[in-house]
């Protein structure tokens, strides 16, 4: 007879956060709010890097391999260059716009080690978008590769911007030096000291809104570092419960060293925080990809014996398809995480069955929360495949109605979050701060509910509703119904203009085989009210386009659909 499990999540939290424990939690006043903070956290990102110098292998990119110490030393050289040649000081903004090259990591470490602010720019931005971002944040220096140099060449002089070239493939303007050459005069592998502390700004990451220019979310060193330790606490809680309150004193020896596949861009928190910074803190190897390609990803998993892959559901779904169609050995994978968009329940099951040693996991987080929020994995996830998990211990969650009143368990409303990892605000956007940060609660724009067991369910985006004849229709609900069809691999639902109803529902789908639209609508009627069934169904002959984070590019699909349907 199986032994009854008696350990609880509350027991685990009490055990690991008690006084004297490495993950001890204390309460501090941060920006006028009482927050739970990890007492023993490194004070700054530079302290984090310095504490984790080692000769262990760290960053692998194609045929290049770097140790933690090699990356640290090169970041010291770059920091010396920034301070001595470009006069970068505490609080100055330095932008990084690259592929996931090793230089991205080195530049980020250098900038955040000297009290400057790393502006992690979206590498897909075109010239106008780059001009806005660089001008808005007031960047003094930009690290850029050839694609970004091409886009910034028309504007960098009028912005008074200094550009450092990474891996160029064309002749450079005379005033844009190659980083490698610029460093020849600054070979000093000691980090310049510029005083800064935990509550100084460390990063700016721009997030796109539904209208207007993107907003630059500003996070402090404390915000970022506490997010990393929150993941460690979540992992400890899982281990505690798996062993019914008696986890082994020392971690078991793994067959393969902890190694993460970096398939998402580093300019998103899913890359910079959940992979890169966690890798530094945990001494994990990171295998970086130039861009997402499922076939190459499977090859890397097999060759490098990768143990963890964290990416949006579209990308993990791609890997599952390759796993089923190829003979690649993906048995080294033990954790396949997600986020950004809900997985179809069927994909959750497929991770557990198609990848023989991997446990599925997911979570909810935002740029403004420094990627943490809620999380779920293993059997809990298999039992609650539509949930994003329980709230991180250092955050508070609430569900509110349109008047801001907090709602009881089970009722739907806007998800509000507050706590130590929440960005301090948006750079030079008091209007956005006033709209988003109310009484220190972050208004996420996500529709959600929390059940009696504290599991969080993200239902939809408030601004991703189709309002059809006065009826609010959640795009996520319709997408879930479409993805339940065996032949549909990807689906995106959105509203298009309608003269009578205001909006009608349209979907773009990518399928395994040809579908009959009338049969599909009959299938949907088994789970959806008639008014929720899409009026327009567009079948794409290829996988749906995605933005850099791996999410489906819904805006692009909507514009294409309106043109095809004559509704533009």
Q: Residue 36's domain spans which residues? A: 9-40+220-460
Residue 303 domain-assigned (yes or no): yes
Residue 473 pLDDT: 79
pLDDT of residue 210: 43
189 burial via Cβ count (<10 Å: 0-12, 13-18, 19+): middle
Do 373 and 344 share a structural domain?
yes
Same domain for 156 and 54? yes
Rounded to whole angstroms, the Cα distance separating 421 from 13 reads 18
Domain of 523: which CATH number? 3.30.300.30
Last residue of a domain, one of 179, 207, 235: 207
The pairing of strands 390-391 and 425-426 is unpaired
Mean pLDDT of the chain: 91
pLDDT at site 315: 84
Q: Left if phi > 0, otherwise alpha if psi is -120 to 50, otherwise beta: which for 194?
A: beta
What percent of the chain shows pLDDT beyond 90?
A: 70
| Helix, coil or strand: residue 318 | helix
If asked whether residues 190 and 91 sit together in one domain, one would say yes
What would the 3-class secondary structure string for 433-500 be?
Answer: HHHHEECCEEEEEEEEEECCCCCEEEEEEHHHEEEECCEEEEHHHHHHHHHCCCCEEEEEEEEEEECC
Q: Residue 88 contacts by C-beta under 8 Å, 6 or more apart in sequence?
A: 82, 94, 111, 114, 116, 140, 141
In a domain, residue 4? The reply is no
pLDDT at 274: 95
**Per-residue pLDDT averaged across 113-119, rounded?**
98
| 378 and 297 together in one domain | yes
Which carries the bigger pLDDT value, residue 110 or residue 243? 110
pLDDT classification of 79: cutoffs 50, 70, 90: very high
pLDDT of residue 58: 98
**pTM of the predicted model as reported, rounded to 2 decimal places:** 0.85
Q: Which of 159, 180, 207 is the last residue of a domain?
A: 207
**Which residues, 6 or more positions from 270, have their beta carbon under 8 angstroms from its beta carbon?**
264, 310, 311, 312, 339, 340, 371, 549
Residues 553 and 429 in one domain: no
Same domain, 68 and 88: yes
**Are residue 29 and residue 63 in the same domain, yes or no?**
no
Tens of pLDDT along 297-350? 999 999 999 999 998 877 888 898 888 888 899 999 999 988 766 677 778 888
| Structure token digits, residue 353 | 């069955």
In a domain, 306, yes or no: yes
Indicate whether 536 and 439 sit together in one domain. no
Has residue 3 been placed in a domain? Answer: no
Q: How confident is the model over 482-536, as pLDDT tens digits?
A: 998 989 999 999 999 887 777 899 999 999 888 999 999 999 988 787 888 999 9
Q: Is the pLDDT of residue 278 over 50?
A: yes
156 token code pair:
């960098």
How much helix, strand and coil, in percent to the nearest 5, is found in the chain?
A: 35, 25, 40
Q: What is the distance of C-alpha 110 from the center of its chain?
A: 22
Please report how the helices 345-354 and 313-325 are oriented relative to each other, as an axis angle in degrees rounded to 10: 40
Strand 465-468 to strand 359-365: parallel, antiparallel, or no bridges (unpaired)?
unpaired
The angle formed by the CA atoms of residues 388, 393 and 396, to the nearest 5 degrees, is 80
Among 230-244, 272-286, 546-560, the minimum mean pLDDT is found in 546-560
Q: Is residue 166 part of a domain?
A: yes
Looking at residue 1, what is its pLDDT?
37
Last residue of a domain, one of 180, 207, 234: 207
- 269/399 same-domain check: yes
Domain count across the chain: 3
Whether 321 is covered by a domain: the verdict is: yes
- Confidence tier at 212 by pLDDT (50, 70, 90): low
- Provide the CATH number for the domain around residue 321: 3.40.50.12780
How far apart (Å, rounded) are the C-alpha atoms in residues 294 and 319? Answer: 5
pLDDT at 2: 44
Query: Is pLDDT of 211 > 50?
Result: no
Gap between the Cα atoms of 423 and 124, Å rounded: 23
Percent of the chain, pLDDT > 70?
96
The span from the CA of 200 to the CA of 220, in Å, is: 5
**Same structural domain for residues 55 and 31?**
no
- Is 213 among the domain residues? no
Query: How many DSSP H helices and E strands does the chain contain?
Result: 18, 28
pLDDT at 413 (0 to 100): 96
Q: If residue 354 lies in a helix (H) or strand (E), which one and from where to where?
A: helix 345-354
* Candidate from 32-36, 158-162, 413-417, 524-528 with smallest mean pLDDT: 524-528
Backbone φ and ψ of 264, nearest 5°: -105, 160
Does 52 lie in the same domain as 27?
no
Over range 213-219, report the average pLDDT.
Answer: 92
- Please check whether residues 454 and 506 belong to one and the same domain: no
Q: Is residue 2 part of a domain?
A: no
Tens of pLDDT, residues 1-28: 344 558 899 999 999 999 999 999 999 9
Is a pLDDT exceeding 60 seen at residue 209? no
> Residue holding tokens 């001890």?
24
377-402 pLDDT per residue, tens: 888 888 898 899 999 999 999 999 98
CATH of the domain at 112: 3.40.50.980
């Amino acid at each position: 007879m199986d032994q009854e499990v008696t350990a609880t999540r509350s027991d685990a939290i009490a055990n690991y956060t008690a006084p004297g424990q490495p993950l001890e939690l204390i309460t501090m006043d941060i920006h006028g709010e009482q927050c739970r903070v990890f007492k023993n956290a490194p004070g700054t990102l530079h302290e984090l890097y310095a504490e984790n110098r080692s000769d262990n292998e760290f960053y692998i990119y194609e045929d290049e391999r770097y140790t933690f110490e090699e990356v640290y030393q090169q970041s010291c050289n770059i920091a010396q260059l920034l301070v001595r040649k470009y006069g970068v000081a505490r609080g100055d903004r330095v932008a990084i716009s690259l592929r996931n090259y090793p230089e991205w990591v080195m530049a980020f470490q250098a900038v955040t080690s000297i009290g400057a602010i790393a502006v992690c720019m979206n590498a897909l931005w075109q010239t106008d978008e780059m001009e806005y971002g660089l001008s808005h944040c007031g960047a003094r220096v930009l690290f850029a590769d050839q694609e970004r140099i091409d886009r910034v060449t028309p504007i960098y002089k009028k912005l008074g911007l200094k550009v450092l070239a990474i891996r160029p493939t064309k002749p450079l303007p005379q005033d844009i030096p190659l980083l490698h050459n610029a460093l020849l005069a600054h070979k000093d592998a000691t980090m310049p000291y510029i005083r800064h502390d935990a509550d100084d700004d460390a990063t700016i990451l721009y997030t796109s809104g539904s209208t207007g220019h993107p907003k630059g979310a500003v996070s402090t060193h404390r915000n970022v570092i506490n997010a990393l330790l929150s993941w460690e606490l979540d992992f400890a809680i899982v281990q505690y419960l798996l062993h019914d309150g008696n986890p082994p004193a020392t971690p078991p020896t793994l067959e393969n060293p902890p190694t993460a596949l970096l398939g998402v861009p580093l300019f998103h928190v899913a890359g910079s925080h959940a992979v890169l910074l966690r890798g530094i803190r945990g001494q994990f190897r990171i295998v970086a990809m130039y861009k997402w390609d499922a076939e190459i990803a499977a090859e890397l998993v097999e060759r490098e014996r990768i143990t963890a892959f964290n990416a949006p559901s579209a990308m993990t779904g791609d890997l599952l398809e390759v796993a089923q169609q190829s003979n690649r050995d993906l048995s080294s994978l033990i954790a396949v995480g997600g986020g950004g968009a809900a997985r179809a329940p069927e994909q959750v099951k497929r991770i557990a069955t198609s990848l023989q040693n991997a446990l599925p996991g997911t979570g909810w987080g935002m740029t403004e929360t420094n990627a943490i929020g809620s999380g779920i994995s293993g059997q809990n996830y298999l039992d609650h495949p539509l949930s994003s998990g329980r709230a991180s211990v250092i955050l508070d969650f609430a569900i509110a109605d349109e008047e801001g009143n907090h709602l009881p368990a089970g009722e739907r409303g806007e998800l509000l979050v507050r706590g130590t990892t929440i960005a301090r605000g948006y750079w030079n956007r008091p209007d956005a701060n006033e709209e988003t940060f109310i009484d220190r609660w972050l208004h996420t724009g996500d529709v959600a509910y929390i059940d009696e067991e504290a599991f969080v369910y993200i239902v939809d985006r408030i601004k991703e509703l189709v309002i059809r004849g006065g009826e609010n229709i959640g795009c996520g609900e319709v997408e879930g119904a479409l993805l339940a069809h065996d032949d549909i691999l990807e689906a995106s639902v959105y509203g298009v203009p309608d003269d009578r109803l205001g909006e009608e529902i349209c979907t773009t789908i990518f399928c395994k085989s040809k579908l009959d639209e009338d049969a599909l609508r009959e299938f949907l009627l088994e789970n959806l009210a008639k008014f929720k069934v899409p009026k327009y169904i567009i079948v794409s002959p290829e996988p749906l386009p995605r933005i850099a984070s791996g999410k489906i590019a819904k805006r692009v699909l909507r514009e294409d659909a309106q043109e095809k349907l004559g509704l533009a």
